[in-house]
Structure 1
Protein backbone atom coordinates (compact mmCIF):
# COMPACT_ATOMS: atom_id res chain seq x y z
CA UNK A 1 0.00 0.00 0.00
CA UNK A 2 1.22 3.49 -0.84
CA UNK A 3 0.41 6.28 1.61
CA UNK A 4 0.41 10.06 1.12
CA UNK A 5 1.05 12.02 4.32
CA UNK A 6 -0.41 15.49 3.83
CA UNK A 7 0.13 18.22 6.40
CA UNK A 8 1.23 21.75 7.05
CA UNK A 9 4.42 22.40 8.98
CA UNK A 10 4.76 22.93 12.73
CA UNK A 11 2.38 21.00 14.96
CA UNK A 12 0.61 19.36 12.03
CA UNK A 13 3.87 17.83 10.80
CA UNK A 14 4.85 16.92 14.37
CA UNK A 15 1.58 15.03 14.78
CA UNK A 16 2.13 13.24 11.48
CA UNK A 17 5.62 12.21 12.55
CA UNK A 18 4.10 10.63 15.68
CA UNK A 19 2.52 8.07 13.34
CA UNK A 20 5.92 6.95 12.04
CA UNK A 21 5.60 3.35 13.30
CA UNK A 22 2.44 3.00 11.24
CA UNK A 23 3.44 4.66 7.97
CA UNK A 24 6.97 3.24 7.89
CA UNK A 25 5.39 -0.18 7.32
CA UNK A 26 4.29 1.06 3.88
CA UNK A 27 5.59 2.90 0.86
CA UNK A 28 4.93 6.55 1.76
CA UNK A 29 5.67 10.16 0.91
CA UNK A 30 5.00 13.55 2.45
CA UNK A 31 3.21 16.54 0.95
CA UNK A 32 4.00 19.54 3.13
CA UNK A 33 5.11 23.16 3.08
CA UNK A 34 8.58 24.36 2.17
CA UNK A 35 10.56 25.42 5.25
CA UNK A 36 14.07 24.84 6.57
CA UNK A 37 12.73 21.97 8.68
CA UNK A 38 11.01 20.24 5.77
CA UNK A 39 14.01 20.70 3.51
CA UNK A 40 16.00 18.74 6.10
CA UNK A 41 13.28 16.10 6.14
CA UNK A 42 13.46 15.93 2.33
CA UNK A 43 17.11 14.88 2.58
CA UNK A 44 15.99 11.64 4.28
CA UNK A 45 12.43 11.10 3.10
CA UNK A 46 10.36 11.39 -0.08
CA UNK A 47 8.87 14.88 0.33
CA UNK A 48 6.93 17.15 -2.03
CA UNK A 49 7.22 20.77 -0.94
CA UNK A 50 4.47 23.35 -1.32
CA UNK A 51 4.45 27.09 -0.84
CA UNK A 52 3.67 28.38 2.66
CA UNK A 53 0.16 29.76 2.65
CA UNK A 54 -1.76 32.21 4.81
CA UNK A 55 -5.44 32.86 4.09
CA UNK A 56 -5.09 36.45 5.32
CA UNK A 57 -2.52 37.46 2.71
CA UNK A 58 -3.41 39.15 -0.57
CA UNK A 59 -1.94 36.34 -2.69
CA UNK A 60 -3.91 33.56 -0.99
CA UNK A 61 -6.15 32.66 -4.00
CA UNK A 62 -3.16 32.48 -6.35
CA UNK A 63 -1.08 30.37 -3.95
CA UNK A 64 -4.00 28.04 -3.30
CA UNK A 65 -4.30 27.47 -7.04
CA UNK A 66 -0.55 26.77 -7.31
CA UNK A 67 -0.77 24.33 -4.39
CA UNK A 68 -3.76 22.63 -5.97
CA UNK A 69 -1.91 21.94 -9.23
CA UNK A 70 1.33 20.89 -7.50
CA UNK A 71 -0.67 18.48 -5.37
CA UNK A 72 -2.52 17.15 -8.41
CA UNK A 73 0.81 16.48 -10.15
CA UNK A 74 2.18 14.77 -7.06
CA UNK A 75 -0.85 12.50 -6.55
CA UNK A 76 -0.98 11.54 -10.24
CA UNK A 77 2.73 10.72 -10.19
CA UNK A 78 2.77 8.80 -6.90
CA UNK A 79 -0.66 7.09 -7.13
CA UNK A 80 -1.26 6.59 -3.38
CA UNK A 81 -3.92 4.21 -2.12
CA UNK A 82 -4.49 6.19 1.07
CA UNK A 83 -4.13 9.82 2.10
CA UNK A 84 -3.61 10.61 5.78
CA UNK A 85 -4.00 14.25 6.68
CA UNK A 86 -3.42 16.18 9.90
CA UNK A 87 -4.30 19.61 8.42
CA UNK A 88 -4.16 22.48 7.85
CA UNK A 89 -4.79 24.76 4.90
CA UNK A 90 -2.16 23.51 2.43
CA UNK A 91 -3.37 19.92 2.87
CA UNK A 92 -6.95 20.55 1.74
CA UNK A 93 -6.12 19.95 -1.96
CA UNK A 94 -4.63 16.54 -1.08
CA UNK A 95 -7.89 15.49 0.53
CA UNK A 96 -10.13 16.86 -2.22
CA UNK A 97 -8.06 15.55 -5.11
CA UNK A 98 -7.54 12.22 -3.36
CA UNK A 99 -11.27 11.80 -2.89
CA UNK A 100 -11.92 12.71 -6.55
CA UNK A 101 -9.34 10.06 -7.48
CA UNK A 102 -11.34 7.58 -5.35
CA UNK A 103 -8.57 7.16 -2.79
CA UNK A 104 -9.26 6.58 0.90
CA UNK A 105 -8.94 9.77 2.96
CA UNK A 106 -8.18 9.69 6.69
CA UNK A 107 -8.23 13.00 8.54
CA UNK A 108 -6.91 13.48 12.07
CA UNK A 109 -8.24 16.64 13.73
CA UNK A 110 -5.61 18.72 15.50
CA UNK A 111 -4.66 17.85 19.08
CA UNK A 112 -4.69 21.58 19.79
CA UNK A 113 -8.43 21.76 19.16
CA UNK A 114 -10.46 20.47 22.08
CA UNK A 115 -13.37 22.96 22.18
CA UNK A 116 -13.94 24.02 18.58
CA UNK A 117 -13.41 22.55 15.11
CA UNK A 118 -10.78 23.69 12.64
CA UNK A 119 -11.77 25.14 9.27
CA UNK A 120 -9.98 22.30 7.51
CA UNK A 121 -11.69 19.74 9.72
CA UNK A 122 -15.14 21.16 9.01
CA UNK A 123 -14.51 20.91 5.27
CA UNK A 124 -12.87 17.46 5.17
CA UNK A 125 -15.36 15.92 7.64
CA UNK A 126 -17.98 16.00 4.88
CA UNK A 127 -16.16 13.44 2.75
CA UNK A 128 -13.37 11.75 4.74
CA UNK A 129 -13.57 7.97 4.84
CA UNK A 130 -12.31 8.06 8.42
CA UNK A 131 -12.29 11.16 10.61
CA UNK A 132 -10.42 10.90 13.90
CA UNK A 133 -10.59 13.29 16.85
CA UNK A 134 -8.08 13.36 19.69
CA UNK A 135 -10.47 14.69 22.32
CA UNK A 136 -13.83 13.14 23.24
CA UNK A 137 -15.28 16.66 23.53
CA UNK A 138 -14.83 17.08 19.75
CA UNK A 139 -17.41 14.37 19.04
CA UNK A 140 -20.13 16.98 19.59
CA UNK A 141 -18.87 18.79 16.46
CA UNK A 142 -18.11 15.61 14.54
CA UNK A 143 -20.68 12.99 15.61
CA UNK A 144 -19.57 10.41 13.01
CA UNK A 145 -15.90 10.78 13.97
CA UNK A 146 -13.86 8.17 15.81
CA UNK A 147 -12.27 9.14 19.10
CA UNK A 148 -8.69 7.94 18.80
CA UNK A 149 -7.11 9.62 21.79
CA UNK A 150 -3.88 11.56 21.69
CA UNK A 151 -1.21 10.63 19.15
CA UNK A 152 1.48 12.24 21.31
Structure 2
Protein backbone atom coordinates (compact mmCIF):
# COMPACT_ATOMS: atom_id res chain seq x y z
CA UNK A 1 0.00 0.00 0.00
CA UNK A 2 1.31 3.41 -0.95
CA UNK A 3 1.00 5.97 1.82
CA UNK A 4 0.05 9.28 0.27
CA UNK A 5 -1.19 11.12 3.35
CA UNK A 6 -0.45 10.57 7.01
CA UNK A 7 -1.91 11.94 10.20
CA UNK A 8 0.29 12.29 13.27
CA UNK A 9 -1.80 12.32 16.43
CA UNK A 10 -0.48 12.91 19.91
CA UNK A 11 -0.48 14.95 23.08
CA UNK A 12 1.97 17.80 23.30
CA UNK A 13 5.20 17.33 25.25
CA UNK A 14 6.99 13.98 25.09
CA UNK A 15 4.40 12.26 22.91
CA UNK A 16 4.70 14.98 20.30
CA UNK A 17 8.50 14.83 20.53
CA UNK A 18 8.33 11.09 19.77
CA UNK A 19 6.30 11.75 16.64
CA UNK A 20 8.52 14.60 15.54
CA UNK A 21 11.58 12.36 15.81
CA UNK A 22 10.08 10.22 13.05
CA UNK A 23 10.80 13.13 10.67
CA UNK A 24 12.88 11.04 8.24
CA UNK A 25 9.70 9.03 7.60
CA UNK A 26 7.12 11.81 7.34
CA UNK A 27 9.06 14.83 6.08
CA UNK A 28 8.39 14.26 2.37
CA UNK A 29 4.81 13.09 2.77
CA UNK A 30 1.56 15.01 2.76
CA UNK A 31 0.75 15.18 6.45
CA UNK A 32 -1.28 16.81 9.17
CA UNK A 33 -0.98 16.90 12.94
CA UNK A 34 -3.46 16.67 15.79
CA UNK A 35 -2.23 17.87 19.16
CA UNK A 36 -2.93 20.25 22.02
CA UNK A 37 -2.84 23.97 21.32
CA UNK A 38 0.09 24.61 23.64
CA UNK A 39 3.25 26.66 23.23
CA UNK A 40 5.59 23.69 22.69
CA UNK A 41 3.36 22.32 19.93
CA UNK A 42 2.92 25.71 18.24
CA UNK A 43 6.67 26.24 18.29
CA UNK A 44 7.65 22.77 17.09
CA UNK A 45 4.99 22.56 14.39
CA UNK A 46 5.24 26.08 13.00
CA UNK A 47 4.34 25.96 9.31
CA UNK A 48 2.70 22.53 9.60
CA UNK A 49 -1.02 21.79 9.15
CA UNK A 50 -2.24 21.34 12.73
CA UNK A 51 -5.67 20.59 14.18
CA UNK A 52 -6.08 21.37 17.87
CA UNK A 53 -7.73 18.89 20.18
CA UNK A 54 -9.11 19.19 23.70
CA UNK A 55 -7.20 18.56 26.91
CA UNK A 56 -6.85 17.30 29.55
CA UNK A 57 -7.57 13.87 28.09
CA UNK A 58 -6.63 11.41 30.82
CA UNK A 59 -9.83 9.89 32.12
CA UNK A 60 -11.82 12.93 31.01
CA UNK A 61 -15.06 11.75 29.42
CA UNK A 62 -16.16 15.24 28.32
CA UNK A 63 -12.96 15.80 26.33
CA UNK A 64 -13.05 12.25 24.97
CA UNK A 65 -16.43 13.04 23.47
CA UNK A 66 -15.22 16.41 22.14
CA UNK A 67 -12.13 14.78 20.63
CA UNK A 68 -14.30 12.12 19.02
CA UNK A 69 -16.14 14.92 17.19
CA UNK A 70 -12.79 16.49 16.23
CA UNK A 71 -11.59 13.10 14.99
CA UNK A 72 -14.71 12.59 12.88
CA UNK A 73 -14.36 16.02 11.26
CA UNK A 74 -10.60 15.83 10.67
CA UNK A 75 -10.63 12.27 9.32
CA UNK A 76 -13.48 13.06 6.90
CA UNK A 77 -11.73 16.22 5.70
CA UNK A 78 -8.15 14.92 5.43
CA UNK A 79 -8.81 11.30 4.38
CA UNK A 80 -5.41 9.96 5.52
CA UNK A 81 -4.07 6.60 4.41
CA UNK A 82 -2.23 6.12 7.70
CA UNK A 83 -2.40 7.40 11.27
CA UNK A 84 0.60 7.30 13.59
CA UNK A 85 0.51 8.01 17.30
CA UNK A 86 2.63 7.64 20.39
CA UNK A 87 -0.22 8.59 22.70
CA UNK A 88 -1.72 9.67 24.80
CA UNK A 89 -5.50 9.49 25.13
CA UNK A 90 -6.28 11.69 22.11
CA UNK A 91 -5.13 8.77 19.94
CA UNK A 92 -8.04 6.58 21.07
CA UNK A 93 -10.97 8.28 19.28
CA UNK A 94 -8.85 8.95 16.20
CA UNK A 95 -7.69 5.33 15.97
CA UNK A 96 -11.10 3.76 16.50
CA UNK A 97 -12.83 6.00 13.97
CA UNK A 98 -9.98 5.61 11.48
CA UNK A 99 -10.17 1.81 11.83
CA UNK A 100 -13.89 1.94 11.03
CA UNK A 101 -12.96 3.94 7.92
CA UNK A 102 -10.44 1.30 6.83
CA UNK A 103 -7.30 3.32 7.55
CA UNK A 104 -3.92 1.85 8.54
CA UNK A 105 -2.76 2.47 12.11
CA UNK A 106 0.71 2.52 13.68
CA UNK A 107 1.20 3.04 17.40
CA UNK A 108 4.59 3.68 19.01
CA UNK A 109 4.63 2.83 22.73
CA UNK A 110 6.44 5.42 24.79
CA UNK A 111 10.10 4.97 25.66
CA UNK A 112 9.77 5.30 29.41
CA UNK A 113 7.34 2.39 29.91
CA UNK A 114 9.54 -0.68 29.93
CA UNK A 115 7.56 -3.40 31.68
CA UNK A 116 4.01 -2.05 32.07
CA UNK A 117 1.55 -1.03 29.36
CA UNK A 118 0.17 2.48 29.07
CA UNK A 119 -3.60 2.88 29.15
CA UNK A 120 -3.62 4.16 25.57
CA UNK A 121 -1.37 1.32 24.45
CA UNK A 122 -3.77 -1.23 25.95
CA UNK A 123 -6.78 0.44 24.33
CA UNK A 124 -5.39 0.63 20.78
CA UNK A 125 -3.30 -2.58 20.77
CA UNK A 126 -6.18 -4.80 19.55
CA UNK A 127 -6.90 -2.67 16.46
CA UNK A 128 -3.53 -1.41 15.19
CA UNK A 129 -1.80 -2.70 12.09
CA UNK A 130 1.62 -2.26 13.64
CA UNK A 131 2.47 -1.80 17.33
CA UNK A 132 6.04 -0.59 17.83
CA UNK A 133 8.00 -0.86 21.06
CA UNK A 134 11.42 0.53 21.91
CA UNK A 135 12.59 -2.07 24.44
CA UNK A 136 12.77 -5.84 24.07
CA UNK A 137 11.16 -6.11 27.53
CA UNK A 138 8.03 -4.41 26.18
CA UNK A 139 7.41 -7.45 23.98
CA UNK A 140 6.54 -9.36 27.16
CA UNK A 141 3.59 -6.98 27.54
CA UNK A 142 2.71 -6.64 23.85
CA UNK A 143 3.28 -10.04 22.23
CA UNK A 144 2.67 -8.99 18.61
CA UNK A 145 4.76 -5.82 18.88
CA UNK A 146 7.78 -5.02 16.74
CA UNK A 147 10.88 -3.75 18.54
CA UNK A 148 12.56 -1.09 16.42
CA UNK A 149 14.75 0.14 19.26
CA UNK A 150 14.94 3.65 20.60
CA UNK A 151 13.88 6.53 18.40
CA UNK A 152 15.82 8.94 20.63
* TM-score normalised by structure 2 residue count: 0.93
**5+ residue gaps in structure 1?**
none
May I ask how many residue pairs the two structures share in their alignment?
149
Q: Which residue of 2 aligns with 1:114?
A: 114
Determine the C-alpha separation between the residues in 1 that align with 2:40 and 2:61. Answer: 25
Alignment of 1:20-31 (within 5 A): 20-31=23-34
1:17 to 2:20 alignment: yes
Superposed, which structure 2 residues align to 1:2-151 within 5 Å?
Answer: 2-55=5-58, 60-151=60-151
CA RMSD of aligned residues (A): 1.2
Q: Matches of 2:94 and 2:14 in 1, distance apart?
A: 18
Q: Which deviates further from its counterpart, 91-100 or 39-48?
A: 39-48
8 A Cα contact 1:115 1:138, kept in partner? yes
Q: Decide whether the 8 Å contact of 2:16 with 2:41 is kept in 1.
A: no
Unaligned ranges ≥5, structure 2: none
- Taking structure 1 as reference, are residues 134 and 42 closer, same or farther at Cα in structure 2, changes over 3 Å only? closer
TM-score, with length taken from structure 1: 0.93
- Secondary structure of the structure 2 residue equivalent to 1:89: coil
In structure 2, C-alpha distance between the alignment counterparts of 1:68 and 1:80, rounded to whole Å: 16
